């Protein structure tokens, strides 16, 4: 299953399994060109600065099954918080991005910015997939997020970074 494959990549890559003597490299195969893998995690900015994991879970659980919430540290002087939220399915995450970006989720008082993790706000891939070639980041496998994209989104939520309507760590 996909979950078993994810577990293998996450737990064996860079480790020495079983009776082997050297670390192994385990990665997902590159999908065919034009394939855009589903992403079940989104980034949300504009949460109340006092927002807890439990409050974020409640705010987004009304739109699907929240599997995990990772609150980002709030930079001193900032008035909003941000989080990565993993949903049960990619369809749930996509629905939230399509319907809540720029809107006020139930239970909150201000509009939020929402986009799929590993994607800029225009939906194009970011990070390693983009740097490695023609796929423009579309070759990222489900569940794998680009570190550069995550850093860019965190910087944006903390008031750092720059760029014309996209998240960037630079």
DSSP 8-state class, residue 30: P
Residue in this structure with the two tokens 């939230």, named with its chain if needed: 96
Residues with pLDDT less than 70, the chain:
30-32, 34-37, 119-170
Global pTM reads 0.55
The predicted pLDDT at position 29 comes to 73
State the greatest distance between any 2 C-alpha atoms of the chain, in Å, as a whole number. 56
92-108, pLDDT tens digit by residue? 999 999 999 999 999 99
Q: Which pLDDT score, from 0 to 100, does residue 124 have?
A: 46
């Amino acid at each position: 299953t996909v979950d078993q494959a994810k577990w293998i990549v996450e737990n064996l890559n860079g480790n020495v399994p079983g009776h082997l003597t050297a670390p192994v490299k385990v990665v997902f195969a590159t999908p065919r060109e034009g394939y855009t893998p589903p992403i079940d995690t989104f980034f949300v900015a504009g949460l109340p600065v006092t927002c807890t994991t439990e409050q974020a879970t409640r705010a987004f659980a009304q739109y699907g099954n929240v599997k995990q919430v990772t609150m980002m540290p709030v930079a001193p002087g900032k008035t909003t918080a941000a989080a990565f939220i993993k949903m049960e399915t990619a369809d749930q995450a996509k629905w939230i991005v399509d319907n809540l970006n720029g809107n006020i989720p139930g239970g909150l008082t201000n509009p939020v910015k929402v986009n799929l993790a590993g994607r800029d706000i225009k939906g194009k891939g970011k990070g390693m997939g983009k740097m490695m070639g023609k796929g423009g980041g579309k070759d990222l496998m489900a569940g794998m997020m680009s570190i550069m994209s995550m850093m860019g989104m965190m910087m944006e939520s903390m008031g750092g970074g720059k760029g014309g309507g996209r998240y960037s760590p630079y």
